[in-house]
Structure 1
Amino acid sequence: MEYVLLLILLLVIVVALVASRFIDSGNPFPLQKKPTLFSPVERSFMQLLEKAVGDDYKILNRVKLSDVMELKSGISDKARASTMLKLNAKYLDFVLCDPKDFSVVAVLDLVNNTSKDGHKAVPDWFVNGALDAAAIPYFRMKIKAGYTAADIQNTIAARLGKAVSKTEPQFKGLVKKGPTRPLRSLKPASTSGNTLPVPALSHSQIKAQQTALIQAS
């Protein structure tokens, strides 16, 4: 009797396993769409980055490291397989490209180090080494409040060896400007010899002088 119960129990377990497999395999795509492609921080930074680069660069997002570089020839199959496995496992947040031919100009990663487990808080030695070996400029910008498009623009320009734009001094929120109308000279009118400058007379003064001349005549 005990053997029969044990056999029935095993049969139930086997049936349950087969049924679970059948149910899982019945839906090969147990997936759903994400609510948004970027997090709020990534979206805000993306908008600032677009303003910062303008038409100078095209921005690509979440690019595989294997998409921006390739293996050199003459390496062993083992080294090739190992390196490609690492390249395919690494993602770059933003890639700046030349708008004409889409050649890679620089790579930018966001860093959230608010905790030890933050996004890319710890530098990745393989990403750093790979980009350095390929001579691709690499930025790691910390996530913080108060970023402006000008801040990002100046950071990129400084890293790429370009001129950094300087903003004009501001006072009480207004840009300091020069005079809007010419200033009257404070120098006295020049005189030639002993001749004194003739003062300008008003209309009433001229009429009064004419009346006096008529009476005198």
Structure 2
Amino acid sequence: MELQIIVVIAFASLFVLLILLKIFNKKSNRVYYHTKTLFTPAERSFFGVLTQAVSNQYLIFGKVRIADVIGIKRAPNNSVRQTAFNKIACKHFDYVLCTKDTLSVVAVIELDDKSHLEEKTIHRDSFVESICKNAGLTLIRFNVKASYQIPTIQSKIMASLNSSELRENNRNAIKHRAFRT
């Protein structure tokens, strides 16, 4: 009789232990959580102003991965190409400005808060600026503010786009002249 009690207690203990392990494993596998919002409060505020400033002409997409906007040119070998890709794969642009009809990327926009004064972020910003310049992509920067003036935002965007269009026309003219000679 004592042996039966010991066996029952052993099976019950094993059963409880298995249930506890299953519960523990479920909790330990929960490494993901829903962030609830796409933007920080400052980014959301600026998104509203940005939408008002350009919604007649452009669509705005937020938190777009740099690697989805900028491609990697042919490289001498796959290692060089992979290294270049890895540098942009986990970074994103705050906002991407696209044409309404074709969704062609017109410019990218970065919203700079006080973290952009930190050395690590300064290095990241410099890198992003260099790849945008290398790719011929217009990068427009705005500083976080308590409030924004829509005409000021519109003017800066239009000036940046006009400037980049002028640079592109000059490049094309130079190529055309070089081709004719």
Q: Is the 8 A contact 1:112 1:118 kept in 2?
A: no
Shift of 1:159: 0.8
1:62 aligned residue: 63
The one-letter code sitting in structure 1 at the alignment partner of 2:140 is: F
2:40 aligned residue: 39
User: CA offsets per residue over residues 139-171 of structure 1, 9 Å max, x none?
Assistant: 111112231111110000111117xxxxxxxxx
SS at match of 2:31: coil
Relative to structure 1, is the Cα distance of residues 113 and 121 closer, same or farther in structure 2, using a 3 angstrom cutoff?
A: farther
User: CA offsets per residue over residues 9-65 of structure 1, 9 Å max, x none?
Assistant: xxxxxxxxxx99x93466533333224222211111000000000221111111111
1:136 aligned residue: 137
Q: Supply the RMSD in Å over aligned alpha carbons.
A: 2.8
Relative to structure 1, is the Cα distance of residues 153 and 85 closer, same or farther in structure 2, using a 3 angstrom cutoff?
A: same
Q: Give runs of aligned pairs for residues 1-217 of structure 1, distance below 5 A.
A: 23-24=24-25, 27-113=28-114, 116-117=117-118, 120=121, 124-161=125-162
* d(CA) in 1 for partners of 2:139, 2:160: 9
Structure 1 length as normaliser, TM-score? 0.58
Bigger Rg, which one: 1
* d(CA) in 2 for partners of 1:126, 1:115: 13
* d(CA) in 2 for partners of 1:69, 1:148: 30
* d(CA) in 1 for partners of 2:67, 2:35: 25
Q: Is the 8 A contact 2:93 2:108 kept in 1?
A: yes
* d(CA) in 2 for partners of 1:137, 1:154: 15
Identical aligned residues as a percent: 30
Q: Is the 8 A contact 2:74 2:81 kept in 1?
A: no
Q: Is the 8 A contact 1:112 1:121 kept in 2?
A: no
Number of residue equivalences: 144
Q: Is the 8 A contact 1:111 1:121 kept in 2?
A: no
The structure, 1 or 2, with the larger RCO (C-alpha pairs under 8 Å, 6+ apart) is 2
Residue ranges of structure 2 left out of the alignment (5+ in a row): 1-19, 164-181
Relative to structure 1, is the Cα distance of residues 34 and 121 closer, same or farther in structure 2, using a 3 angstrom cutoff?
A: same
SS at match of 1:160: helix
Residue ranges of structure 1 left out of the alignment (5+ in a row): 1-18, 163-217
* d(CA) in 2 for partners of 1:160, 1:87: 24
* d(CA) in 2 for partners of 1:64, 1:133: 17
Q: Which has the higher helix share?
A: 2
* d(CA) in 2 for partners of 1:101, 1:115: 33
The one-letter code sitting in structure 2 at the alignment partner of 1:85 is: N
